[in-house]
Structure 1
Amino acid sequence: MKWDWIFFDADETLFTFDSFSGLQRMFLDYSVTFSAEDFQDYQAVNKPLWVDYQNGAITSLQLQHQRFDGWAERLNVPPGELNAAFMNAMAEICSPLPGAVSLLDSLQGKVKMGIITNGFTSLQQTRLERTGLRDHFDLLIISEEVGVAKPDARIFDYALAQAGNPDRSRVLMVGDTAESDIRGGVNAGLATCWFNPHQRE
């Protein structure tokens, strides 16, 4: 085996992340029919917040609350309540991507594996338990817990320290996002593999 460690991103690398379906399910509990137009409006708020989070301009808590501020005001509920309901809905609908389980099964025992994710602790832990994949991984590194997000090299440095500081030339980072996973891995001196099933450029 060429690698001593392989680190994977989580969302859309190992797991499906259909936020539209998750929001539709979540809003049913509030008697709201969440439309495609509603989702576009949500993403217009959510995507810039994620950029700010990955750049260290806001905290994970600010992201999670601010993306639901508008809906919280409309429904007269705290934004934190909506975010928690969304996390629960996403955990309920999650599933491994096709081929993910067989890949992890084939690698288990041959290489140490970890996850480095910008996702949130409550969702990541629950998904791994529900899908039965927790035992495949030696490390679970979550930006919310570390305090910095990919592509910041510090989260990779933290992961490698937790892994016992292996030779970086024998560590591979696998992810679907060129900016956070691939650029972040390269900046940390790691080999990278861009999972790009949709042929993005």
Structure 2
Amino acid sequence: MKYDWILFDADETLFYFDAFKGLQLMFSRYNVAFSDADFKQYELINRPLWVQYQNGDISASELQQTRFREWAKKLKTTEQQLNDDYMQAMADICEVLPGTTSLIHSLNGRVKLGIITNGFTALQKIRLEKTGLADYFDLLVISEQVGVAKPDRRIFEYSLEKMGNPAPTSVLMVGDNPQSDILGGINAGLDTCWFNHQNQLLPENIKPTYQVSTLSELEKILF
């Protein structure tokens, strides 16, 4: 094994993240039929907020609450309550991506495993417990707790410190997002693997060490 540590992103790398399905479930518990049009309107607000969050311009709590502000007024509840309900709904529909369980089991005992995620604390821990993967990971770093998000180099430096400062060349970062996972990992001096299971185009300025479209491909590379 070339690496001592393998770090994974969470959403759309290990776990499905179907925001529309989660929002439909959450709003159904308020007796609201959440439509495609509602989701498009939500994404017009949510996506720019995520860019601001990853750029360090707003906090996790600002993101979580701002995206539900109008809905909180309509439903006569709080932004925080809606965000908590959304996290619960996402946990309820949680599923791992194909190949996740096999890959994690095959790596267990051969290499240390970690997660660095820009997702939120309430969801990450529940999903790891629900899927039975919690005990396989030696490190769980959540941007909400650290105060900076990928691709900020500081979250990778924080993680490496928590890992006991291994040589960056002994660490592989695996993720689906070219900017936050791959460019972030490269800037921290790590080898990277772009998990391109959604058939995206890679920006010309980003050059991962490996590129795979399935986790089973990554398993073959590592062994």
TM-score calculated relative to the size of structure 2: 0.89
**CA positional deviation for 1:32:** 0.5
**Deviation per residue, 1:118-166 (Å, 9 max, x gap):** 0000100000001100011000000001110000000000000000000
Q: Which residue of 1 aligns with 2:214?
A: none
Partners in 1 of 2:128 and 2:169 — Cα distance? 28
Partners in 2 of 1:197 and 1:122 — Cα distance? 26
Partners in 1 of 2:127 and 2:190 — Cα distance? 27
Letter in 2 for 1:31: N
**CA positional deviation for 1:82:** 0.5
**Deviation per residue, 1:80-118 (Å, 9 max, x gap):** 110000000000000110110000000010000000000
**CA positional deviation for 1:170:** 0.9
Q: Which residue of 2 aligns with 1:190?
A: 190
Provide the aligned C-alpha RMSD in A. Answer: 0.5
Q: Which residue of 2 aligns with 1:174?
A: 174
Q: Which residue of 2 aligns with 1:52?
A: 52
Q: Aligned to 1:174, what secondary structure does the other structure show?
A: strand
Partners in 2 of 1:197 and 1:77 — Cα distance? 38
The within-5 A match list for 1:47-86 is 47-86=47-86
**CA positional deviation for 1:195:** 0.2
Letter in 2 for 1:132: G
Q: Which residue of 1 aligns with 2:25?
A: 25
Q: Which residue of 1 aligns with 2:114?
A: 114
Give the 4+ runs in structure 1 shifted more than 6 A: none
Letter in 2 for 1:164: G
Partners in 2 of 1:12 and 1:112 — Cα distance? 21
Q: Which runs of 5+ in 2 are unaligned?
A: 202-223
Partners in 1 of 2:92 and 2:30 — Cα distance? 17
Aligned length: 201
**CA positional deviation for 1:70:** 1.0
Q: Which residue of 2 aligns with 1:91?
A: 91
**CA positional deviation for 1:31:** 1.0
Partners in 1 of 2:136 and 2:14 — Cα distance? 12
Q: Which residue of 1 aligns with 2:135?
A: 135
Partners in 2 of 1:136 and 1:35 — Cα distance? 38
Most deviating of 67-76 and 114-123 = 67-76
Most deviating of 67-76 and 1-10 = 67-76
**Deviation per residue, 1:3-62 (Å, 9 max, x gap):** 010000000000000010000000011111000110000001000000000000000000
Partners in 2 of 1:190 and 1:68 — Cα distance? 36
Partners in 2 of 1:53 and 1:186 — Cα distance? 20
Q: Which runs of 5+ in 1 are unaligned?
A: none
Letter in 2 for 1:27: F
Q: Aligned to 2:56, what secondary structure does the other structure show?
A: coil
Partners in 1 of 2:197 and 2:31 — Cα distance? 36
